[in-house]
C-alpha cells in the first residue's frame, strides 16, 4: 500500500505536468543549493524548478498522460515546469548550463511530444514572443511607408524631369541671345 505522502506528491507532480505548456528535464548533479537557488531566480515567475524522486515523477507523468520521458528519469533529475512561453525558460536553462557544467539538459516535453536536447536548445535560440511581436509590428509599419514611397516615386520623377527640362530651356534661352550678336 502506498504511503499517503507519496500519493500526494505524485498527484501534485501530475497536476504540474497538466498545467505546464512545456517541461524540461535536467540533471543537477554537483550543483550546490546556492546554485539551484540562482537557477530558480533566473527562470523567473513562469517556471518552477522541482527536484523529485524518479519513481514518483514516472508515475506522475503516466498519470498526466505524458509519454516518452521515462528514459530521462535516471540519476539526480529535476524538472522545469513552464507555464506560458517556453522560450525564456529554455534560454535561462541553456545559459545556466553553459556557465555551470554540472547542469545537464536531458530533454523535454511540449505539445504532446517528447523533445530531444537539440530541440530544447532550438527553442532556446528562438526570439521571445515580445521580440517577435515587435518585429511583426515593425514589418507592418514598414510596408505602408514603402508603398507610399512607391506611389510618390513617379510623381517625384516627373517633377525632377520637368525641373531639368525647364533648366535646360532657360539655359538655351540665355545662350540664344548671345549667339544672335
Question: Rounded CA gap, 149 and 156, in Å?
Answer: 10
Q: Catalogue the E-assigned strands of the chain.
A: 22-27, 47-51, 77-82, 104-110, 113-115
Per-residue pLDDT tens over the stretch 105-160: 888 888 888 888 888 888 887 776 777 678 777 767 766 666 666 666 676 676 77
Give the confidence band of 177 by pLDDT, cuts at 50, 70, 90: low
- Residue with grid cell 528514459, as numbered in its chain: 71
Q: What is the pLDDT of residue 1?
A: 44
For residue 181, pLDDT over 70 is answered with: no
How open is the CA angle 144-147-150, to the nearest 5 degrees? 155
If one compares 57 and 172, the residue with the highest pLDDT of the two is 57
Predicted TM-score (pTM) of the model is: 0.66
Query: Of 46-50, 118-122, 161-165, which gets the smallest average pLDDT?
Result: 161-165
**pLDDT value at position 147?**
63
Answer for the pair 26, 78: CB distance below 8 angstroms, yes or no: yes
Do 24 and 90 touch, CB atoms closer than 8 A? yes
Amino acid at each position: 500500500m502506498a504511503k499517503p505522502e507519496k500519493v500526494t506528491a505524485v498527484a501534485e507532480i501530475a497536476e504540474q505536468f497538466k498545467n505546464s505548456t512545456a517541461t524540461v528535464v535536467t540533471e543537477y548533479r554537483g550543483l550546490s543549493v546556492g546554485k539551484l537557488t540562482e537557477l530558480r531566480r533566473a527562470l523567473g515567475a513562469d517556471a518552477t524548478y522541482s527536484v523529485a524522486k524518479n519513481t514518483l515523477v514516472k508515475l506522475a507523468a503516466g498519470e498526466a498522460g505524458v509519454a516518452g520521458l521515462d528514459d530521462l528519469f535516471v540519476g539526480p533529475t529535476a524538472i522545469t515546469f513552464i507555464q506560458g512561453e517556453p522560450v525564456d525558460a529554455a534560454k535561462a536553462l541553456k545559459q545556466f548550463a553553459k556557465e555551470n557544467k554540472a547542469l545537464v539538459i536531458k530533454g523535454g516535453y511540449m505539445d504532446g511530444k517528447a523533445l530531444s536536447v537539440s530541440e530544447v536548445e532550438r527553442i532556446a535560440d528562438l526570439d521571445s514572443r515580445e521580440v517577435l511581436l515587435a518585429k511583426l509590428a515593425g514589418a507592418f509599419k514598414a510596408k505602408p511607408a514603402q508603398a507610399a514611397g512607391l506611389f510618390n516615386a513617379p510623381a517625384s520623377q516627373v517633377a525632377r524631369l520637368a525641373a531639368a527640362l525647364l533648366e535646360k530651356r532657360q539655359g538655351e534661352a540665355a545662350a540664344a541671345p548671345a549667339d544672335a550678336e
